[in-house]
């Protein structure tokens, strides 16, 4: 036991799992089934935040863990000491000898970070020895569920920040309210989703992204007079003179910010409002600044809003109340994915020893077999997705459908069918990442590039799907052969075959 928390991504410990993954692995091994091949896939059933899409994130860090995956002598010794409730050894020595020195043999197809996905579509497809496939489940879902939620939340906030046609920076200020020690993954995901900078200095350094910050109420309160605090901050931060004006009286704070600029002779770069009626105070501040006429000290003052912002409040401030904000700083409701704190992504067995499998339960019937997703693009916009069998690798070549496809819309009461013709622009969403335990296509790690991918993905989505409330539901269907297989397996189960 040590007081030093391990860096799981660097150690690659397979103990980044739930206990039952190891006890099941032991049972498979002792029963001679450990090396039987299966495919499990990760997907989610419901879009978060009342929206119509999910932006994928987390793949890069999941693969970093995979690249270092191995059981250390310390891992084996820990498992050797584990006991059941009755005091018996939890793990058989034969199993411990089996896993010692084992290398990964799994293959993974996955959706790239920044890409959009929709309910019931595979996001990861993992194939390999049954014990190894299950042993990576917890790490995969931990990275996918948490980071995809924050990336999606950030994308919605960034979208709201430009709804009136003006592009505004979205700052991530969530370190103190985040759930993760250090906030690295939360900052990473927020940046992929569209945040332009972070207050988290350590994460900014680690990921090579911009950092940003203003000042805190504590600085103002350390001076007898607010104006003296402002002047001191401006003198010693002449390139970052955005002042927090709501420590005591917001109107007086705005006046003191103007006075501090005049008395220091330094340009005022911004005012941040962190409480009260955000729209009212932004308008009042702008009036006071306008009253200064052509004074060069106030030519480029940016109004910054914070205080529990989410996409709906941002939309209301900018579109309904016409608040003259230039920058939005979001913290709690961004990094905690406040109104949908859990995505509920799952990892289900889809194929075992080349036989398609299905779980049948009310509202949770799965799609059988190893699958992929073909995305149709018309006039530069996503037209619809078709879940198909992974073995249909010839469906798309050179960015075009190679044959006609009939798609049975998921959850359609009347079995709606859509036809897509050969020659349509299309691409497969899941891409090969790992083959037989080796990374063959390393995921992009540059966050600026991942953010750009996210922006491009959103640009391909019609506005009706991006509405913050009551968006249009994006179409996802099953290709004919997969649809027929699913119906047959459901019928066989009902007949008890």
Exposure string for 175-204, b = 16+ CB within 10 A, e = fewer:
bebbeeeebbbbbbbbbbbbbbbbbbeebb
pLDDT band at 492 (very low <50, low <70, confident <90, very high): confident
The pLDDT of residue 479 is: 95
**Residue 151 near residue 189, CB atoms below 8 Å:** yes
The pLDDT of residue 416 is: 85
Per-residue pLDDT tens digits for 391-410: 998 999 999 999 999 999 98
Structurally, the chain folds into a number of domains equal to 1
Is residue 169 one of the residues assigned to a domain? yes
Is residue 199 one of the residues assigned to a domain? yes
Is residue 327 one of the residues assigned to a domain? yes
The pLDDT of residue 148 is: 98
The pLDDT of residue 497 is: 65
Q: What is the mean pLDDT of residues 292-317?
A: 97
% residues pLDDT > 90 (the chain): 93
H-assigned helices in 327-390: 332-335
330 vs 279: CA distance, rounded Å? 16
Residue 250: name the closest of 331, 298, 305 by CA.
Answer: 305
Per-residue pLDDT tens digits for 88-120: 999 999 999 999 999 999 999 999 999 999 999
63 vs 73: CA distance, rounded Å? 22
Residue 414 has pLDDT above 70, yes or no: no
Q: What is the mean pLDDT of residues 190-196?
A: 98
Is residue 19 one of the residues assigned to a domain? no
Residue 354 has pLDDT above 90, yes or no: yes
405: its two tokens: 């496809």
Is residue 394 one of the residues assigned to a domain? no
The pLDDT of residue 495 is: 80
Q: What is the mean pLDDT of residues 129-140?
A: 98
**Residue 330 near residue 157, CB atoms below 8 Å:** yes
The pLDDT of residue 1 is: 54
The pLDDT of residue 74 is: 95
The pLDDT of residue 37 is: 98
Is residue 17 one of the residues assigned to a domain? no
Per-residue pLDDT tens digits for 236-287: 999 999 999 999 999 999 999 999 999 999 999 999 999 999 999 999 999 9
Edge-to-edge, what's the strand order for the sheet holding 476-479? 396-397, 400-401, 425-428, 371-378, 381-389, 476-479, 405-409, 417-420
Kindly report the average pLDDT of the chain as a whole number: 95
CATH, residue 178: 3.20.20.70
The pTM assigned to this predicted structure is 0.96
**Residue 192 near residue 447, CB atoms below 8 Å:** yes
Residue 413 has pLDDT above 60, yes or no: no
SS3 (DSSP) at 136: coil
Residue 209: name the closest of 225, 224, 194, 221 by CA.
Answer: 194
Per-residue pLDDT tens digits for 376-386: 999 999 999 99
Is residue 371 one of the residues assigned to a domain? no
92 vs 27: CA distance, rounded Å? 10
Q: What is the mean pLDDT of residues 317-328?
A: 98
Phi, psi dihedrals of residue 406, rounded to the nearest 5°:
-100, 130
Residue 464 has pLDDT above 70, yes or no: yes
Per-residue pLDDT tens digits for 12-62: 999 999 999 999 999 999 999 999 999 999 999 999 999 999 999 999 999
Residue 260: give the domain boundaries: 151-335
Lowest mean pLDDT among 289-293, 350-354, 487-491: 487-491
Is residue 88 one of the residues assigned to a domain? no
Q: What is the mean pLDDT of residues 177-186?
A: 94
């Amino acid at each position: 036991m040590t007081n030093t928390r391990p860096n799981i991504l660097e150690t690659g410990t397979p103990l980044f799992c739930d206990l039952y993954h190891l006890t099941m692995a032991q049972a498979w091994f002792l029963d001679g089934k450990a090396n039987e091949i299966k495919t499990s896939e990760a997907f989610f059933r419901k879009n978060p935040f009342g929206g119509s899409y999910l932006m994928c994130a987390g793949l890069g860090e999941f693969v970093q863990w995979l690249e270092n995956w191995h059981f250390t002598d310390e891992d084996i010794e820990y498992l050797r000491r584990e006991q059941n409730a009755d005091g018996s050894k939890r793990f058989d020595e034969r199993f411990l000898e089996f896993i010692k020195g084992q290398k990964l043999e799994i293959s993974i197809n996955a959706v790239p970070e920044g890409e959009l996905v929709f309910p019931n579509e595979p996001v990861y497809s993992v194939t390999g020895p049954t014990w190894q496939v299950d042993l990576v489940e917890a790490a995969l879902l931990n990275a996918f569920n948490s980071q995809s939620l924050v990336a999606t939340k950030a994308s919605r906030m960034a979208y709201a920040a430009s709804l009136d046609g003006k592009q505004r920076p979205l700052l991530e200020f969530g370190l103190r309210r985040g759930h993760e020690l250090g906030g690295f993954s939360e900052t990473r995901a927020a940046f992929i989703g569209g945040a332009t900078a972070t207050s988290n200095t350590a994460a900014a350094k680690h990921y090579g992204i911009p950092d940003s910050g203003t000042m805190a109420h504590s600085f103002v309160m350390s001076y007898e007079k607010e104006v003296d605090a402002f002047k001191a901050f401006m003198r010693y931060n002449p390139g970052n003179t955005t002042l927090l004006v709501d420590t005591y009286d917001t109107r007086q704070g705005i006046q003191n910010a103007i006075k501090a600029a005049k008395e220091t002779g330094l340009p005022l770069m911004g005012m941040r409002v962190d409480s009260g009626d955000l729209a009212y105070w932004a308008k009042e501040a702008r009036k006071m600044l306008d009253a200064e006429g052509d004074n060069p000290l106030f030519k480029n003052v940016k109004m910054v809003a914070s205080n529990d912002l989410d996409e709906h409040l941002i939309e209301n401030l900018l579109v309904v109340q016409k608040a003259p904000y230039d920058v939005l700083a979001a913290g709690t409701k961004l990094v905690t994915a406040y109104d949908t704190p859990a995505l509920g992504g799952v990892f289900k067995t889809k194929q075992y020893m080349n036989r398609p499998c299905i779980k049948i339960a009310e509202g949770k019937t799965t799609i059988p077999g190893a699958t992929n997703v073909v995305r149709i693009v018309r006039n530069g916009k996503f037209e619809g997705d078709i879940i198909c069998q992974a073995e249909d690798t010839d469906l798309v070549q050179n960015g075009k459908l190679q044959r006609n496809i009939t798609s049975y819309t998921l959850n359609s009461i009347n079995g709606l069918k859509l036809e897509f013709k050969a020659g349509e622009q299309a691409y497969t969403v899941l891409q090969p990442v790992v083959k037989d335990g080796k990374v063959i296509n390393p995921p992009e790690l540059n966050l600026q590039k991942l953010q750009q991918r996210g922006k491009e993905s959103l640009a391909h989505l019609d506005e009706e799907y991006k509405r913050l409330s009551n968006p249009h539901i994006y179409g996802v269907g099953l290709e004919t052969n997969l649809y027929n297989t699913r119906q047959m397996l459901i019928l066989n189960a009902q007949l008890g075959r």
